[in-house]
Amino acid sequence: MKKLILKNESFQYIEKSFREWLDILGYAESTVYNLPNHIRELFYYLEQNNISHITELDNRLIKEHYQNLKLRSNDRKGGGLSNGSLNKHLQALYKFTDYLRQSGRMLLPQLNIAWESDNTHEIETLTPREIQLLYKATYGYHENTKWEPFSARDRAMLTIFYSCGLRRNEGYHLDVSDIDFDRRILHVRKGKANKERFVPFNKTNSQYLQEYVYDSRPQIVLDKRNNALFISQKGNRMNAQSMAVRLKLLQQRTDDLVLQEKNVRLHVLRHSIATHLLQNGMPLDKISKFLGHTSLESTQVYTHLVESLDTQ
């Protein structure tokens, strides 16, 4: 979405006005940011069809645009928008027609586009390429060198939640002393149901973690006696919600439209590494141990997921 450049100045103005309208009405910051971006795609569709004024918009065009979203293909396996993502576009379209009516610009009939069935239990994963894009997004974003320690922290965060497959709460409770760089082992002391486990990491992951722990973390921690692995901008232990926000920021920095549409959460990184390990031939019992599952039944869900990906 961020790569779509609108040439029509009136469309640019309306997008900005729509954003301000949402803000004035008190919608959440994420809604104020995302909904106008979805409407930018509608405007872009209008421009491609030589429509230059908002008064030319009607329900037929909106529905054609939405059908294009449903059929949109991309160059990766398993492409296309999920039902959850399509519903976000629908939310934007419905809210935009409200804005047009309340602002007095135009009155459109009820859209009557059915919401997509959204299976909230569907497992969302990222491709290896998308994981690489997240790592890449941690580099060179800030010109001011004072932010470099936080970029190193973000790479360490990706390493813990993707490469080591930790749960959100497990990553939050990690301390520096839980990392054994000599043996390349991570000690998860507070796993699910207080179950401990040891998680291996490779040489590349060790480099990311060492760069953060030895070079960057000392620059941002407030109290040198603080043993927390992840440190916030205030110099204290970073809470899990802040980690989730940082991941969302990395997602938006990628400028990849398909990746930006995904509901990327810390647990999605865990789902992704499990899927990638299975695709690379790791036995299910080892993946189960790696993830800290109490039984193979919990891990078998990934076999069905890999099978569905292979058929796409």
Give the separation between CA 154 and CA 134, rounded to whole angstroms: 10
| 167 is a catalytic site residue | yes
Active site residue 302: yes
Reply yes or no on whether 276 is catalytic: no
| Radius of gyration for the chain, computed over Cα atoms and rounded to the nearest angstrom | 22
Q: Is 190 a catalytic residue?
A: no
What end-to-end distance do the CA atoms of the chain give, in Å?
Answer: 25
40 flagged as catalytic:
no
19 tagged catalytic: no
pTM: 0.64
pLDDT tens column, 198-243 = 999 999 999 999 999 999 999 999 999 999 999 999 999 999 999 9
Q: How far is CA 131 from CA 50, 149, 178, 264, in A?
A: 37, 20, 25, 11
Per-residue model confidence as pLDDT tens digits over 135-194: 999 997 666 678 899 999 999 999 999 999 999 999 999 999 999 999 999 999 988 878
Residues 167, 173, 237, 276: which is the catalytic one? 167
Q: Considering the candidates 66, 162, 172, 302, report the single residue annotated as catalytic.
A: 302
Strand pairing partners for 197?
188
Q: Name the catalytic one among 187, 192, 248, 289.
A: 192
- Domains of the chain with bracketed CATH: 9-102 (1.10.150), 128-310 (1.10.443.10)
